[in-house]
Amino acid sequence: MNEVAYLRDLVIILGFGVIIVTVFHKLRLPAIAGFILSGVVVGPHGFGFINDVHQVEVLAEFGVALLLFGIGLELSLEKLRRLWKLIVVGGALQVGMSVLVAFAISRTFDLPGNSAVFIGFLVALSSTAIVMRGLQQRGEIDAPHGRLILGILVFQDFSVVPMMLAIPVLIGTDIQTDVYLVTVLKAVGIISAVLLAALLIVPRILSFVAKTRQRQLFILTVFLICIGTAWLIASSGVSLAIGAFLAGLVVAGSEYRHQALADLISFREVFASLFFVSIGMLLVPSIIMENIFLVLALLIAILTGKSVIVLATAKILRMPLRVSIMTAVALAQIGEFSFVLLFSVQGSGLIDKTLESNLISAAILSMFVTPFAMSFGPRLAAGLGKLSRLRRQLEVDMAEDATAAVCDMRDHVVVGGYGFAGRELSKALRDYEIPHVIVDINIENVSKASQEGVLAFFGDVTSQEVLVKLGAECAGELVLLVNDPGAAEQAVRVARKLAPGLHIVVRTHYLLDIEPILAAGADEVVPSEREAAVEVTSLVLNRHQVTAQQIADHSLRIRNQTEEDS
């Protein structure tokens, strides 16, 4: 009968989830918030359709484990290596400052030192699941703020390991030093072995299985690696969720990561939904109503405090205002690993029960508002960007040096972004002696351009002040080659208002981005998705000896078709 009860619970969860998320979609509200609200409705503290709290906790742990496996699968050790500076410096600053600030505030309210440290641990962590899901849906993972967010989140996730190992000390468990040292070394050894396996063993196993061409066997092997790695790491005293995240990194290190992701995408989406619903089930509306002012005070303190700390972190990393604000908004909540830490100390007396309940309520509310905040982030960044005094406080903006350099330019090209496309465009413009100026928010790109003899400045192309200093009012063309569609749309809107006659060309990744960017005032939008289709079609037809004119006709048809679809 227990199996039937679980099936009944799943039917209720998925049924209410479908209904509420459909309504949220019609209202253009974030789906994640809809799943959390579904959990509140069906949970033991809502209408009580599901009353077994233990089953709720099992669903939460299992859901977050599989969700984080999917997130780890989308990363790779190579990608983490490229982000090492943001991970190590940005993550350490954010986590360190969050723990210290939370500790200091907790001590002012006479909380014991060990409790204050633990609260610092809870507050320092953000929701990898919610934030990454939001970035994926908005296509912003490779945007500048997306990379900074990812770097900080990865450091947070790995920092859970030492936090878990510190819990026995904080609780005051009577442990012998040699036993504790063995436990720490065991955890470090197992995690190191897992990372080594990611490089040496797992790729060979997946290669062997893939050669059998048995899809079922491949899926089974991936699940075995996920569950086996998670179990192995969990047996060392580290959480199951961390084990699943590392298991995802293990599989991501192989050449078959894309196949594994494609085979597991439907499973991941289902369990991601279960996780968000299960988080909503933990919310107790009666506790919120009884302690409404304290819960709201905690919520405001968490959101405000973490936002300020992330802004400070971004300033130290010399990030521009837009990136700083959008990162701060995205990371202001408390994350799922905080619940893992909370569940591990239940019954220990480390935190007062009333404070624990209020913290859980504030944490879930912070997760609920995050999707809305991320949607509002670009407009907030644009609004605050108009405050010149605030910009000077938060942004390292070397575009102010551009005025003298571009004062004699007329009909020049302003190029936003100096990645591969920006470099190639700049090279072509130099070949034909067409005057142009580069602006980028990546200091390394600006430095590289300057070394190559290109007139380049550090600045945020979405800022009217920056565009004025780059001579956009007297320029002939603005070319935007940034990876953030929201930033491109904002830059177009600002540039069109500043220079109505300016010709604006935008490169974007997806067809869905075309309509809003054109509506903002762009003259031409070039989606990489369309050009890739044109290039692939041309290459294949050419190999089959189709004439050049026929290939050109097909390319034109693709371009016209994608414009209609967009």
List the helix and strand counts (H, then E) for the chain. 28, 6
Contact 233, 243 (CB under 8 A): yes
Across the chain, mean pLDDT equals 80
Output 560 or 428, whichever has higher pLDDT: 428
Task: Kindly state the tokens that stand for 31.
Answer: 């789906």
Query: According to the per-residue pLDDT averaged within each range, which of 166-170, 228-232, 419-423 is highest?
Result: 419-423
Gap between the Cα atoms of 79 and 27, Å rounded: 36
Output 557 or 390, whichever has higher pLDDT: 557
Structure confidence at residue 280 as a pLDDT band (50, 70, 90): confident
Gap between the Cα atoms of 339 and 336, Å rounded: 5
Mean pLDDT value across residues 540-553: 84
Summarize pLDDT for 201-223 with one digit per residue, the tens. 777 887 888 788 787 788 788 77
- Confidence at residue 356, expressed as pLDDT on a 0 to 100 scale: 85
Q: With a cut of 90, say whether residue 97 has pLDDT above it.
A: yes
- Confidence at residue 391, expressed as pLDDT on a 0 to 100 scale: 46
Summarize pLDDT for 516-531 with one digit per residue, the tens. 899 999 999 988 878 8
Summarize pLDDT for 261-276 with one digit per residue, the tens. 666 666 666 767 777 8
- Confidence at residue 307, expressed as pLDDT on a 0 to 100 scale: 93
Q: With a cut of 50, say whether residue 420 has pLDDT above it.
A: yes
Summarize pLDDT for 8-63 with one digit per residue, the tens. 877 888 888 889 888 887 887 777 788 888 888 888 888 888 877 666 666 666 66
Mean pLDDT value across residues 437-450: 81
Least confident range from 13-17, 244-248, 337-341, 540-544: namely 244-248
Q: With a cut of 70, say whether residue 389 has pLDDT above it.
A: no
Which top CATH class is 2-389? mainly alpha
- Confidence at residue 403, expressed as pLDDT on a 0 to 100 scale: 56
Q: In what order do the strands lie in the sheet with 456-458?
A: 456-458, 436-440, 413-416, 477-480, 503-508, 524-527
In the chain, what are the domain boundaries? 2-389, 398-565
CA 243 to chain centroid:
20
Output 493 or 224, whichever has higher pLDDT: 493
According to DSSP, the residues that pair with 415 across neighbouring strands are 438, 479
Gap between the Cα atoms of 471 and 407, Å rounded: 7
Task: Kindly state the tokens that stand for 79.
Answer: 């990608």
Query: According to the per-residue pLDDT averaged within each range, which of 90-104, 154-168, 387-401 is highest?
Result: 90-104
- Could you please report the per-residue DSSP string of 328-377? HHHT-S--HHHHHHHHHTTTTTSS-HHHHHHHHHHHHHHHHHHHHHHHHH
Gap between the Cα atoms of 94 and 307, Å rounded: 10
Output 427 or 263, whichever has higher pLDDT: 427
Contact 202, 250 (CB under 8 A): yes
Output 275 or 314, whichever has higher pLDDT: 314
CA 365 to chain centroid:
19
- Give the whole-number percent of the chain exceeding pLDDT 90: 16
- Confidence at residue 1, expressed as pLDDT on a 0 to 100 scale: 45
Q: With a cut of 50, say whether residue 291 has pLDDT above it.
A: yes
- Give the whole-number percent of the chain exceeding pLDDT 70: 81
Gap between the Cα atoms of 284 and 319, Å rounded: 39
Gap between the Cα atoms of 322 and 138, Å rounded: 16
User: For the domain 398-565, what is the CATH code?
Assistant: 3.40.50.720
